[in-house]
Amino acid sequence: MPAPFSRRAALRRLGAFAASSPLYQLGGQQRPPGLRERVPALEEIESVLEFEPVARARISRTAYDYVAGGVDGEFTLRRNRQAFEWAELVPRALAPAAAPDLSAEIFGQKLPCPILVAPTAAHSQVHPEGEKATHQGAAAAGVLMAVSSNSSYPIQEVAAAAKGPVWFQLYARDTPEGTRDRVERALAAGCQAVLLTVDTQYMSHRERMLHDRHLNIPAAGVPVRTRSRRQAGAPPAPYRLQPQNPDLSWKTVEAIRAYTNVPFLLKGILTAEDARLAVEHGVSGVVVSNHGGRYLDYAPSTLEALPEIVQAVGGRIPVLIDGGFRRGSDVFKALALGARAVLVGRPPLWGLGAFGPEGVRRVLEVLQAELAMAMAATGCATIAAIDRSAVLVDFA
């Protein structure tokens, strides 16, 4: 008769079984829920959303959390997407639908479509060629790319990686001289516009990234942090506030605009009051943005904020928008509410992490195709024909 099987022995065997699991050996970087065993080929992917699980399976947990995460409880991140459910397209039966023309023009630049790649940082976390590869994919799709100040590669290398047009996103530096140097290097590299980000007074509290630090999971090219406490001798940080651009003001805007001889936009506008001030201070345009839900939780979605900002500027300057765009129909809704162009941030990174430059190209081509379909079904033969009558909105 076999010896009695004790509870302690059972737990030992269970622990040995768990330790042998491939999920345990991956150090917590288990595959995303629902991902198929066979990763689909690029030509099998039919929507932008299908790129995300492929990218998640192929990049590190830290890189994925950096791309996917938002500030605090991520309410703003979720609301950016939710707002598109409150806007409906108005179909038009028997309207002319032959060959919708997606071409657009902004600041005198002729573009194949009003979709741009938004400025996002550290693309080398998801692909070794980083922003250079993103620019190659965007250029192949005929899409303009805005390059982040926090690019993995210098702006001149990114601009030279492909023949497509580039803009430059600017974070003001600690000194006016440092800020001007950044702008001048971008202009020398051929950037055709400068976007000053104005919503980053302090570093945000991104819980996903903080948890990754506590778990000592290294980011690409970043040494492992063994402690999360403030180091001895470092200045105190009341309320966990880490300054980023706390002194940014309208005087700063005027000073940068004075020496920037290309279109100069403010990125991070969410109210009519700030939009009117932007016009008064002579900027060329504004980008309605909540930084992809990464800096202020319980901010409005950008689609909700768009109509009042368009009304406030009254056509005096172009209004662009980013935040949560995943479908060509999402782009259509923003254009109908008055945006001149839409910037997409996370989807190109999904494409880059999943398939490299070809993934970026495919993401943008899918968005273009879906936009064309929405235009055909609503009787809008050109981008200029898309107006407020093409959507019904009921923002909760």
How long, in residues, is the chain?
396
23-32, 183-192, 239-248: segment of lowest average pLDDT:
23-32
Band the pLDDT of 97: cuts 50, 70, 90: confident
Q: pLDDT category, 242, cuts 50, 70, 90?
A: confident
For the chain, give the percent of residues with pLDDT over 70.
82
Total domains, the chain:
1
SS3 295: coil
Instruction: Assign 28 a pLDDT band (cuts: 50, 70, 90).
Output: very low
Q: What is the mean pLDDT of residues 358-387?
A: 97
Kindly state the tokens that stand for 71. Answer: 């500030």
In a domain, 220, yes or no: no
Q: Indicate the range of 198-202, 363-367, 369-373 predicted with least confidence.
A: 198-202
Whether the pLDDT of residue 29 is over 60: the answer is: no
Average pLDDT in the 38-64 region?
Answer: 93
Residue 112 CB: number of other CB atoms within 10 A? 14
For 181-209, what is the mean pLDDT? 87
If one compares 223 and 95, the residue with the highest pLDDT of the two is 95
Based on the residue annotation, tell me whether 127 is a catalytic residue of this protein. no
Mean pLDDT within 188-205: 87
Question: Rounded mean pLDDT of 168-187?
Answer: 94
Question: Quick check: is 388 in a domain?
Answer: yes
Average pLDDT value for residue range 134-154? 97
Residue 307 vs residue 23, higher pLDDT = 307
Q: How many helices (H) and strands (E) does the chain have?
A: 15, 12
The per-residue pLDDT for 11 is 55
For residues 152-163, average pLDDT: 97
Measured distance CA(325)–CA(333) in Å, rounded = 10
**DSSP string for residues in 297-338:** TTPPPHHHHHHHHHHHHTTSS-EEEESS--SHHHHHHHHHTT
Largest Cα–Cα separation, the chain: 91
Tell which wins on pLDDT, 211 or 172: 172
pLDDT band at 26 (very low <50, low <70, confident <90, very high): very low
Q: Does the residue 276 lie in any domain? A: yes
C-alpha 51/C-alpha 34 separation (Å) is 13
pLDDT confidence tier of residue 173, bands split at 50, 70 and 90: confident
Q: What is the pLDDT of residue 396?
A: 66
Mean pLDDT for 209-216 is 70
Q: Considering the domain boundaries, does residue 44 fall inside one? A: no
CB 101 within 8 A of CB 386: no
Of the candidates 241, 120, 110, the residue with the CA atom closest to the CA atom of residue 165: 110
Residue 348: partners with Cβ closer than 8 Å, 6 or more residues away: 117, 118, 120, 134, 137, 138, 360, 363, 364
Residue 236 lies in a domain: no
Of 129 and 38, the one with more pLDDT: 129
Looking at the domain assignment, is residue 14 inside a domain? no
Q: What is the pLDDT of residues 67-90, one digit of tens each?
A: 998 888 888 999 999 999 999 999
The average pLDDT across 218-224 equals: 49
Output the CA angle 316-317-322, nearest 5 degrees.
140
The parent domain of residue 365 ranges over 72-204+263-393
Rounded Cα–Cα distance for residues 107 and 320 (Å): 12
Let me know if 239 is exposed, middle or buried by CB neighbors in 10 A (0-12, 13-18, 19+): exposed
Residue 222 covered by a domain: no
For the chain, list the strands marked E by DSSP: 87-89, 104-106, 109-111, 115-117, 145-147, 166-170, 194-197, 264-269, 285-288, 319-322, 341-344, 391-393
| Beta bridge partners of residue 341, listed in sequence order | 320
d(CA 148, CA 161): 15
Q: What is the CATH number of the domain that holds 374?
A: 3.20.20.70
Evaluated on CA atoms 326, 332, 337, 338, the torsion sign reads: positive
**Mean of pLDDT over the chain:** 87
C-alpha radius of gyration, the chain, whole number:
23
- Tens of pLDDT along 272-321? 999 999 999 999 999 999 999 888 999 999 999 999 999 999 999 999 99
Is the pLDDT higher at 252 or at 31?
252
User: What is the model's pLDDT at position 16?
Assistant: 55
Residue 223's pLDDT band (cuts 50, 70, 90): very low
Residue 382 falls inside a structural domain: yes
pLDDT at 214: 63
- Report which of residues 230 and 140 the model is more confident about: 140
- Over residues 263-279, the mean pLDDT reads 98
Q: Looking at residue 37, what is its pLDDT?
A: 62
Among 123, 127, 135, 291, the active-site one is 291
Instruction: Quote the CA–CA distance of 364 and 140 in Å, as a whole number.
Output: 10
Confidence (pTM)? 0.85
Q: Where is average pLDDT lowest: 41-50, 243-252, 267-276?
A: 243-252
Contact assessment for residue 329 and residue 338, using Cβ atoms and an 8 Å cutoff: no
